[in-house]
Every structure is written in structure tokens, then in C-alpha cells.
Amino acid sequence: MPFQTPKRFRWNLAALRDLVLVVLGTATVIYGLGFLLSRLGRVVLILILAIIFTITLSPLVDRLANHWRRPWAVLVVVLGAVLVIVGGGAILGIVITGQLVTLVKHVPENVQHLSTLAPGLLSWLSHNNIHINIPSLENKILSNAGKVSSFIVSQTINIVTNVIGALVDGAIVLFVTVYWLLDAERMQLAILRLVPVQHRDLVLAAEHTLTRVVGGYVRGQLLLSAVVGSAFGLGSWAIGLSYPLLIGVLAGVMELIPLLGPVLGAIVPLIMALAGHPLVQVPEVAVLFAAVHLLESQILGPRIIRSQVGLHPVLSVLALMIGADWQGVWGALFAVPAAGIVVAAWVAAVRLWRERVVLPSQQVHRSSSETAASSTGDRRNILPEKGV
């Protein structure tokens, strides 16, 4: 068969109409999703949490379901997860509360100690017409600490209301998660029956992508959080900082915020070092932060998170900023996996479109083998590769 040169793409009224319809349709969908998310933020958050818990616990439930009945497997896994979260949170809460009370009691002497740290720096600032009144600063810090305590007492009703609301939301998330874990197979079959036979491979591929991205991200992020928190806690204990357990827990929680976790986790040990022996402990904290950041960003992060989500660091930063601006801390937590899902879906859609539409840069006639491969709807051709 002689080689045929591809036809040049020609703009005509039909092509221009299709392009305008695609742009308008995409803009309408994006606007509609944004409108719904802005009005139903709490409901969407509950559904997202339920989906994340379902995807995270589903592999363990499936393994136990091979030996037990599925309801028993769901009961054991969910009860185990609840006991770990509630029991571990209660134990850590008791210990951290005690350390926080001790820390608050030592605030005045720590403030006075900080005022004697850098007289040379203060004199240099004064020489350059930058005046800092240390006694006034001490009084402001102590008065603000008292205001915080009185504010907490005065807002007890609001705090109790928010706690009750969080418990109710948690119960709803638990109920939805249990329901989805029990009826996962029936829900999958019901969805597949609604989809034409020729498109079922695409639906299964989308489900596989969603499970891989979300499940891998959650499990990887929890592992990173445990490693970073343990590293900061043990490192703080080794260099003699006070409250190492508090430092480790805060560092682990901060690690749940993508990209900024190690930086935020290093703030507390740095303050502790300034309040203790700054000339010795501040350099040690700097070395500890550098070691933990190297471990997280260069060794564990690329192998655990980036390989699972398949998202470029620049896109991760943009997703983090958008999520934080939309829903604050919760948005920052879920921004990266959501962006990974969007990118994976986009890549899959583009590949599927290229299989069914002849682009201007492609030849007009495909070989019979390529046509047969594309018509089978092979699942591996639809799934996006990692490392987008």
C-alpha cells in the first residue's frame, strides 16, 4: 500500500461550530460544578471523606471477604479502624493536653528568657532606627495569652456545638462508608448495567484510576505522616528539647498538608530551641529539619506519593493553593489527590479521543491492526501512565 500524505485540516463552519460547542459545554460544566460546590460544601466534604475511607479500607475488606462473609469482614475492619482512630486519638490527646498545660505555665519565663537572647541584634536594630520595646512586647504576649484563655472560656458553647456537629458528621461518614463497603459489588454491577457494553471497559478503567490515585495517596500520606512525626519526635528527644511527643504529633499532623508539612512541623521545635539553649539547639534543629526534609522530599515522597498520584510538583502547588482558598485546611488536604484524579481523567479522555478521532497530524488511513486494537477498548490503552 503506497504511503499517503495526511490531509490538511481545514477550518469550516462545522468545525468552528463544534469547537464553540465544546468550549461552551466545558465552561458550563465547570461553572455548574463550582456553583454546586460553593452551595453544598459540607455535603461534598462528607461524601469525599466517605469515598476516601471506602477506597482506603476496601482492599482489606476484600481480602477478609475471601475467608469470611462480607458483612463480618466489613464489621471487623470498620471497628478496627474506629478503635485505632478513637483510642489512639484519646491517648495522644491526654498526653498532649498535659504537655500543653505545662507549656502554658512556663510561658512567662520563656518570654523573659527570649528577651535576653540577642542583645547584639537589638542594638544593631536600634542603631539603624528600628526600635523594639522588649518589655512592651512581653506584656502584649502575656496579655494576649490571657485573652486567649478567656476567649476559650467564653466560647465554650460554640466549641461544644462544633464538637457535636463534628461527631454527627463523623457518624454520617461512618454510615455511608459501611453502606458502600457492604454493597460495593452490587453498586458496581448496577452502574455497569446502565452503561452500554462498548463503554464498560472505560468505566472499569475510570474506577481503577480512582482507586489507585485516592487509595495510594491516602495510604502513602498516612505513612509519610507517621515517619515524619516519629523523626521529629525522636530527633527532638535526642537533642534535649522539651515536649518531644507534642512536637512529633504536631509535625505528623502538619505533614498531612502537602509540600508545606516539614516546614510547618519545624516551627515548634525551633521555638522550643530558642526558649532553651539557642546557641546549641537551634543549629541542631536546623540539621534535624534538613534531614527530615531530605528524607521526605527526596527519598520517601517521590516513591510513595508521586508514584501513586502521578502529578507534577508545579501542579501540586497550584492544586494546594486552590484547595486552601476554597475550603481552607480541608481543601488543602484533598487538593492533591483531587488534582491527580482530574489529570488522570483528562489524559484518559484525550487518549480515548485520539483513538476514535483522526487528528490533522495523523494519517487518514490506519492499518487494520491499529483499528482492531482501538476497537477492543483495551483497558491498558485507556489508563494514564504514572508521572504526569
pLDDT at 321 over 50: yes
CA atoms 36, 40, 45, 47: torsion sign? negative
Output 105 or 268, whichever has higher pLDDT: 268
Output 180 or 320, whichever has higher pLDDT: 180
Cα-Cα-Cα-Cα torsion 250, 255, 259, 260, nearest 10 degrees, comes to 0
- Residue in 279, 230, 255 with CA at minimum distance from that of residue 267: 255
Which residues fall within 8 angstroms of residue 217, CB to CB, at 6 or more apart?
305, 308, 309, 336, 337, 340
Question: CA 228 to CA 230: how far, in whole Å?
Answer: 5
C-alpha pair distances (Å), 106 with each of 100, 113, 177, 278: 10, 11, 44, 17
pLDDT-derived band at 127 (thresholds 50, 70, 90) equals low
pLDDT at 57 over 70: yes
pLDDT at 334 over 50: yes
Element spanning 47, H or E = helix 41-65
* Model pLDDT, residue 107: 60
Cell numbers placing 134: 522588649
The CA angle 104-108-111, to the nearest 5 degrees, is 110
* Model pLDDT, residue 74: 86
Which residues fall within 8 angstroms of residue 9, CB to CB, at 6 or more apart?
15, 360
pLDDT at 365 over 60: no
Question: CA 175 to CA 49: how far, in whole Å?
Answer: 12
Question: CA 382 to CA 200: how far, in whole Å?
Answer: 12
Question: CA 266 to CA 294: how far, in whole Å?
Answer: 13
* Model pLDDT, residue 207: 72
How confident is the model over 360-378, as a mean pLDDT? 47
Question: CA 189 to CA 179: how far, in whole Å?
Answer: 15
Which residues fall within 8 angstroms of residue 166, CB to CB, at 6 or more apart?
none
C-alpha pair distances (Å), 361 with each of 93, 288, 357, 358, 373: 61, 53, 11, 8, 20
How confident is the model over 211-229, as a mean pLDDT? 77
What does DSSP assign to residue 257? S
How many C-beta neighbours within 10 Å does residue 103 have? 17
Cell numbers placing 225: 505522616
Which residues fall within 8 angstroms of residue 76, CB to CB, at 6 or more apart?
64, 68
* Model pLDDT, residue 311: 65
What does DSSP assign to residue 364? S
- pTM, whole model, 2 decimals? 0.56
pLDDT at 367 over 50: no
CA atoms 354, 356, 359, 361: torsion sign? positive
> Which residue bears the cell 479502624?
81
- The distance from CA 128 to its chain's CA centroid, rounded to whole angstroms, is 44
Question: CA 203 to CA 196: how far, in whole Å?
Answer: 10
Which residues fall within 8 angstroms of residue 244, CB to CB, at 6 or more apart?
233, 234, 236, 237
Q: What is the share, in percent, of the chain residues with pLDDT greater than 70?
A: 57
Encode pLDDT of 150-204 as tens digits. Answer: 665 566 677 677 778 778 888 888 888 888 888 877 877 887 788 777 777 777 7
pLDDT-derived band at 148 (thresholds 50, 70, 90) equals low
Output 185 or 143, whichever has higher pLDDT: 185
* Model pLDDT, residue 105: 64
pLDDT at 229 over 70: yes
- Residue in 319, 386, 314 with CA at minimum distance from that of residue 348: 386
Radius of gyration, CA atoms only, the chain = 27
> Which residue bears the cell 492544586?
319
How confident is the model over 267-284, as a mean pLDDT? 70
Question: CA 323 to CA 350: how far, in whole Å?
Answer: 25
How many C-beta neighbours within 10 Å does residue 30 have? 10
Q: What is the DSSP string of 112-132?
A: HHHTTS-HHHHHHHHHTT---
pLDDT-derived band at 110 (thresholds 50, 70, 90) equals low
